[in-house]
Structure 1
Amino acid sequence: MRAAPHPRQAERLEALHRYEILDTAREAEFDEIVALAATICGTSISVVNLIDEDRQWFKAEVGLGVRETPLETSICSHVILSDDFVEITDTQADPRTQDNPLCVADGGLRFYAGALLKSPEGLPIGTLCVLHDAPHELNDFQKGALRTLARQVMRELDLRVALRDQMVLRREMDHRVKNSLQSVASLIHLYRARASADSFEAFDAVERKVNAISLLHEQLHEASDLQMVQIGVFLPRVLELLQGSARENVKIRGDIDALDLNSSDASSLGMIVSEFVANSIKHGFADGRPGDIEISLQREEDGHVTLRAVDNGAGNAAGPRHNSAVEGLGQRLVEAAASQLGGKLERNASPKGYEIKLVFQSR
């Protein structure tokens, strides 16, 4: 006998589908629960059973060897219309199951016990059940254990929904922050075009920092880990952005290892690289000479990370690089970024160009 639809069937199905669990692969978290349930209850079969519109689908099972069966032979579709816990000690003596093909056949299912799986709204989406091929009866401990394991199934499912919703919200917030930063960068660019010549340097410095922060947010937005940044993706994007502000005869090249660093360290590296490239463009190649700016980031055998930034510009012939208030502030920010990384900058200027080196321990 096929069970009648649940009185709140549409809401119940909506709750079930919200978990996005149907037709997913087997997982150890659920396989271990059904194995434990069968052992505790002394049965040959145990199932995490989800009742869909026209089928029952098993997220986990022991003793059955199939992943779904039609509702016509479903005992659980009757159970979700009942109390939170149902035990049928002999299926051939219960009107809900006495004509079920799975129960009347020789060697068929003669015992059933199931605890409802219920959404936070109290809607039944399925059961954690145990079955056996002979009449059986659970003691109080076994009944309590089955209820507890059913609650564990729902805690796992509800946690997944909460994490998925949190991820959607975080990505939406990150997307809005990124758009806001891009708007700020556009406004800075617009105001720079209208500003006096002596303000260009300050606008350039602010625009570089906003763009670097925007790229960092973009990288975090795409990352599966909420805290780690793929430096092999982030820094090349920073260099590509900086190349847009360089003359055509000055090429910016990068050799960046595929490292994962926390977002704070990634931000500090972005700051140091941006300032070095900007100063190289302004001072090292001020006379129009062609040249290269090389940025490398390598993990050493001892676990330390080495940042090297080199240009083949005017070098010490260009004089001090930090001879304005804006550049002085930029230099202090670079020093602070190096300190944040736990390293100390080494600088070297020669007739062949300018170089900085920073060694730090990744965290």
Structure 2
Amino acid sequence: MLNDKLHPSWTESDRLATLRSYRVLDTPPEPAFDDLVQLATRACQAPIALISLIDERRQWFKAEVGLGVRETPLDRSICLSAMLQPGLTIVSDLSEDPRFARNPLVTEEPHLRFYAGAVLRTPDGVPLGALCVLDHGPRDLTEEQASTLTLLARQVMSHLGLRRAVAERDEKLDASHRIEQRQALLVRELHHRVKNTLATVQALVGATGRSTDSFDEFYRSFSNRITSLARTHNLLTEDYWQTAPLREIALNELKPFAESRQPRFMLIGPPIELSADLAVPVGMALHELTTNAVQYGALSVPTGYVQVRWSVAEIEGARRLHLEWSEFGGPPVSKPQHQGFGSTLLQRVLPMQCNAEVSVNYDRAGLRFCMDAPMIEQRLVPAY
């Protein structure tokens, strides 16, 4: 496509990138451009006028009158040659010009004979195509017609530049609006999550205080529970306060046992993301189960281990999470004489907060905990 005699300062890849930056290819007709081809036909007294843009495989017409098509292959393009010439290209008789004499548009319908095209050039000198007029018989343009066609070509480029500027402005405004919406959503989500977190902390203070006999024991238990809560929230904030992976929530609690030479835990289940309103109580439940296992259960002895298994099933069009905690190889298990915070959380808080069905089996061979809860598919962000 390049004319070596002109030594262009642009490459074909640069030219195509510039053309695409105008975002005009394959767009619907627009009155501003349709008016310009109408003016070209009247000024030049020609039946056909085109705003032709050349890409790597075709010439596409942003506006046309008299030809009846929106594009042609490059091997039929006359504007391709005109685009690479400075100024205005006039071919009085296409059938007499060796460059175009075999062109199907000349030898077949619509039997074109006359062509005049003004290059569409960007302010940086990159050609995009041409504004052209065509006729079915040999002819020429007057000086005034040639001047008018050149002027109209500059108007085409002005409209293309304005069109691109408006599109870029609209994109920036749209991006700014999306950022504002995202920030507003984040503020609402933070508001919602902070209120829930403060309520959880308040409950932890009261429940830990009632289940401990000394300040040191209270401080240790409360600090561990706050640390567990913080780890779950860290996972949530990594995903824009939306979801946290169940495997990572479990690993947060069992990670101290990951370096053991003898496996101390197994995590079995597919990748599952939990929304914040389910991730927080599940994380607290796993913390209480781990703490209990370390103090009294399978993780209190070197030979014990824990298995955490989960799955998701669709029941009546809704997804439900099934989670099992099983302990093996620990001391003999017996039902506790009084209900502490951990038992209360597992047996009362989870059903209330997550609408979960739970069971705790104090099997002598090892504690078994099962939870079946509906998956929360969307964030529960209030409408305030």
Name the larger-Rg structure.
2
TM norm structure 1: 0.50
